[in-house]
Amino acid sequence: MTDLQELCENVKMGREYALLGNYDTAVVYYQGVLQQIQKHLVSLKDVSKRNMWQQVRQEFSQEYEHVKGISNTLASFRSDGSYPQSNRPSRGAAYEEPTRDPDVWPPPTPAENQGRPAPNYGGNRRNVQPARDRPGVRDVKPSGPDRRGVAARPAGNRGGAVGRSSDDKYSAKRPADRVKKVEKGRASSPKRQQGSEDEPKFDATGYDKDLVEALERDIIQRHPNIHWGDIAGLEEAKKLLQEAVILPLIMPDFFKGIRRPWKGILMVGPPGTGKTLLAKAVATECKTTFFNVSSSSLSSKYRGESEKLVRLLFEMARFYAPSTIFIDEIDSIGSKRGTGDEHETSRRVKAELLIQMDGVGGVSGGEDATKMVMVLAATNFPWDIDEALKRRLEKRIYIPLPDAPARESLLKINLKEVEIADDVNLKLIADKLEGYSGADLTNVCRDASLMSMRRRIADLKPDQIRALPKAELHMPVTAEDFQDASKKVSKSVSAEDLKKYEAWMNEFGST
């Protein structure tokens, strides 16, 4: 049922784009619909239903041919004659051509075309200004390899009359000029790192304003303000991350060729062990711009906008480079979990993510290290990660439960601002809490520090509570409080889970 809803939605989108004269995009939707119908047909046993669907397919494919015909005709009008029609890697053509990676849909611009004039994917798309306020009919510039192509295009050879105005603005600024702006900002003004008003701001011209705002608001965290010292234990992981992110920035010449920085790093481990904290510390300590996205929000929050969001995310990351893109719950992208509808969205998100990750590649190819975009992903379910994504997350590190010394240091970090009674022996408490995750330990501390207050206000009425002197509430936390709290908070990770992580790391890990 959900598949059918998705199908209807795609039909609607395809037709809307076609009506708006946005043929290239319409073609992509049409192809998706035909694929979906084909899939549906294969699953049908009832002959009469099959016949009916075959007829639908035939009718729709005629419509598709018609739209494709218009799209091709328009393409042949473009004055950018350097691109023979047969070679033009439009999104439509990409559908029929062999892909570089079977998991990628649609595929990136073939490598051999990257230095050549850019394919004008959305030439007519940009020319016809679709009603931006209409839901679902928003326009975001194409990204990744094709965008690099746009920048590489010589000034005198930019498109034709079609799609000229906004495209020109775009190619004049992207990506070289914008990156230069960042470098200038960094070199001349150390304020950039202090979040000053002068900080270069991503120019949203030509992009979907809502999406840019959503990214600026929800996803970019300029100064996460988590330092290595705020994270207990995990020395090995910290060292590795430092090596992966800081060293290439310090010694870009060394990290070239075979020593190129990792495209992506995957942190694997039970929930609540500090993976997010590590990512934030990387951004803080390495002074990279931090993009914090959760995969589930990518696949659901911005429904229908998800691939655009991914493209924009990387585009902005390149602009604010060096950047760290942290993707939490990466397993939910392209995984087999979720409904058909969710699956379809996340499949498209995954495809875009693969394309973009192929485009980042650290500072390889003699690029400037300050342009580094590092993808840092985290998962509690590594076994759900799809093969293609796993391949791109080249370095896989284990983030284990804290050992006894790490537990003690975690208790200390959490209790920094809390007064502790003399009878409390944190080492003893840490020893007893074996198997607790960092998040479990934080909960124990929180609970213990609330115990004395709870005791004090028991049986009091709100008025009496309000009248209590502050000092009476701020009683030191006692050993008994810790004991009570650890009884209330139980371990969230089982021994079985741990075995699963270890087995996965033995097979796929790289530490």
Point out which residues bind ligand ADP (CB under 6 A).
231-234, 271-277, 378, 402, 410, 413, 438-439, 442
Kindly state the smallest distance separating residue 227's Cβ from ligand ADP, in Å.
Answer: 11
Kindly state the smallest distance separating residue 314's Cβ from ligand ADP, in Å.
Answer: 22
Nearer to ligand ADP, 378 or 389 (CB): 378
At residue 397, the 3 state secondary structure works out as strand
Nearer to ligand ADP, 321 or 410 (CB): 410
Nearer to ligand ADP, 108 or 233 (CB): 233
The Cα 505–Cα 366 span in angstroms is 33
Nearer to ligand ADP, 145 or 402 (CB): 402
* 3-state secondary structure string across 371-409: HCEEEEEEECCHHHCCHHHHHHCCEEEECCCCCHHHHHH
Kindly state the smallest distance separating residue 225's Cβ from ligand ADP, in Å.
Answer: 13
Kindly state the smallest distance separating residue 384's Cβ from ligand ADP, in Å.
Answer: 15
Kindly state the smallest distance separating residue 279's Cβ from ligand ADP, in Å.
Answer: 8
Q: For the stretch 89-126, what's the b/e string if a residue is b when 16 or more beta carbons lie within 10 angstroms of its beta carbon? A: bbbbbbbeeeeebebbbbbbbbeebeebbbbbbbbbbb
The Cα 102–Cα 76 span in angstroms is 29
CA nearest to 220, candidates 343, 315, 128, 90: 315
Nearer to ligand ADP, 190 or 229 (CB): 229
Q: Does a cis peptide bond (omega within 30 degrees of 0) precede residue 190? A: no
The Cα 127–Cα 112 span in angstroms is 27
Kindly state the smallest distance separating residue 445's Cβ from ligand ADP, in Å.
Answer: 9
Give 290's strand partners. Answer: 221, 324
CA nearest to 276, candidates 302, 311, 243, 237: 237
Kindly state the smallest distance separating residue 410's Cβ from ligand ADP, in Å.
Answer: 5
Kindly state the smallest distance separating residue 278's Cβ from ligand ADP, in Å.
Answer: 7
Distances in Å between the Cα of 31 and the Cα atoms of 46, 129, 241, 339 are 25, 23, 42, 22
Distances in Å between the Cα of 161 and the Cα atoms of 70, 247, 398 are 17, 47, 54
Nearer to ligand ADP, 179 or 279 (CB): 279
DSSP H or E segment with residue 309: helix 306-319
The Cα 451–Cα 475 span in angstroms is 9
Distances in Å between the Cα of 113 and the Cα atoms of 102, 109, 119, 164, 340 are 19, 7, 9, 21, 35
At residue 264, the 3 state secondary structure works out as strand
Nearer to ligand ADP, 162 or 277 (CB): 277
Kindly state the smallest distance separating residue 349's Cβ from ligand ADP, in Å.
Answer: 20
Give 297's strand partners. Answer: none
Kindly state the smallest distance separating residue 413's Cβ from ligand ADP, in Å.
Answer: 5
The DSSP secondary-structure symbol of 322 reads S
Kindly state the smallest distance separating residue 262's Cβ from ligand ADP, in Å.
Answer: 19
CA nearest to 203, candidates 179, 233, 236, 227: 179
CA nearest to 110, candidates 83, 75, 137: 83
Nearer to ligand ADP, 313 or 327 (CB): 327
Nearer to ligand ADP, 234 or 477 (CB): 234
Kindly state the smallest distance separating residue 285's Cβ from ligand ADP, in Å.
Answer: 15
Kindly state the smallest distance separating residue 276's Cβ from ligand ADP, in Å.
Answer: 3
Q: Do the beta carbons of residue 393 and residue 428 sit within 8 Å?
A: no
Nearer to ligand ADP, 123 or 272 (CB): 272
At residue 415, the 3 state secondary structure works out as coil
Nearer to ligand ADP, 92 or 264 (CB): 264
Q: Do the beta carbons of residue 369 and residue 246 sit within 8 Å?
A: no
Closest CB to ligand ADP: residue number: 438
The Cα 157–Cα 153 span in angstroms is 7
On the 0-12 / 13-18 / 19+ scale of CB atoms within 10 A, 293 is buried
Say which amino acid occupies 136: G
